[in-house]
Structure 1
């Protein structure tokens, strides 16, 4: 009953470890920079236009929390990791359809609903690997340069990112059951997640258009508020979780009615 889950989980191990290693390298680079530029951070802040700080939610760059939130989490985590989950989600169903593996899978006594649920459940591998490995790396990196993070805030910035990343995976999953080509589904999911992230950032610049960002997933995950201000938006995380469940339900309905 869990064969698909086991197989899909094993497929995610290598890419998850590679991502953790990439974040380790990035973290080492940024932590090595921080002590040297901390004293000049006020000058650097003045050199950038104000809308850049509003667009990306950057605050208090002179602190280790603000610096890491801006340099690692506001871009690499909120965008690149989100794109990774959208990419994975977009290949969950359509890749097996194109390779004719789905016919063999469904020839066994297993429902289509179970196929989708087990494939999505396999995302626990990158979720656990990234949300355990990266905070450990960040926490130890800060200690090595004589800085510290509030361990609760650091844990929460990762815990509250899980619903956000699941929504991005859900976007890819819906496209995976709607489209007939793997490349098309993946390209569409990457483009959509990027555009939503960009729309959220641009809408923050002008208060008159800030409401537009309410339809974007990234609006409900603010790494700066968590790390810098230690404010935990559990309601926003609940909204994202509900959105993910809605996307999952749509994908299941479409897939169960689709001709294969």
Structure 2
């Protein structure tokens, strides 16, 4: 057992993170390989515009033009597949941070080390953050490098901004999973609730222009903080970064409080 919970967690996740990184690089490579054929068919943007507005809003921003590299990546990667990949990792890491140790009956061994419960939660949280930001970085670097090979040219600073917002989206829901895991020790619940809320948040943000009820609550959706300010075109939206960071801080505080006041199983 390593004295540092953070290093132990990263070590335990080493192979998993490598597999995730390779998978994301391959996903980006797939989209890059398809780009030349999309670029040669500018009529595809017109096809998207002919779709019903409710359906179109679920996977494209209002300014997305698939005949351009930025619009193509917005629609094909950043609106759906990218968030799904990052959310799956972050929620799984957050849910398994405490509940996973209890399921494996290793929590007693972990707490037998000279480390407090608050430190355990914070180190587990930091491991999830490093993993999530690392995967977002892999995706961003892959976009810039692999895209440049097929004339899918994207500004590196705007890609970095989009990846920052994407990583924060993952950490928000990963922190919720961590808070539930710390408070209940139940991994199924800790995965299921954030996953359902992520789907609801996505729908609220996407359909807000069409549904009055959603429009009134859109700004509380983490997906609004992620994509509504169009970071791939406009760069970092620091007000959204602040909102996401504050949300994460509250959820981590709840995780520490929840873990400290309950009995731990094994």
Decide which of 140, 143, 166 is 1:138's aligned counterpart: 143
Which structure's relative contact order is higher, taking Cα pairs within 8 Å and 6+ residues apart?
1
The superposition leaves residues 25-61 of structure 1 with CA deviations (integer Å, 9 ceiling, x where unpaired) of 2222222222222322233223422223333343112
How far did residue 146 of structure 1 move? 2.0
Decide which of 43, 46, 59 is 2:46's aligned counterpart: 43
Q: CA distance change for structure 1 residues 110 and 243 in 2, over 3 Å: closer, same or farther?
A: same
Q: CA distance change for structure 1 residues 48 and 34 in 2, over 3 Å: closer, same or farther?
A: farther
What is the match of residue 238 of structure 2? 234
| Distance across 2 between alignment mates of 1:128 and 1:82 | 12
Contact 2:201 2:222 in 1 (8 A): yes
| TM superposition score normalised by structure 1 | 0.90
| Distance across 1 between alignment mates of 2:76 and 2:112 | 49
Mapping of 1:55-66 within 5 angstroms?
A: 55-58=58-61, 59-66=64-71
How far did residue 166 of structure 1 move? 1.4
How far did residue 2 of structure 1 move? 4.8
How far did residue 207 of structure 1 move? 4.8
Alignment RMSD, CA only?
2.2
Count of aligned pairs: 259
How far did residue 157 of structure 1 move? 0.9
How far did residue 252 of structure 1 move? 0.5
Segment drifting more, 207-216 vs 69-78: 207-216
How far did residue 164 of structure 1 move? 2.0
1:151 matched to 2:156: yes
Unaligned runs of 5+ in 1: none
Q: Secondary structure, in 3 states, of the residue corresponding to 2:263?
A: coil
Contact 1:13 1:125 in 2 (8 A): no
Q: CA distance change for structure 1 residues 104 and 23 in 2, over 3 Å: closer, same or farther?
A: closer
Unaligned runs of 5+ in 2: none
Contact 1:175 1:189 in 2 (8 A): no
| Distance across 2 between alignment mates of 1:19 and 1:137 | 13
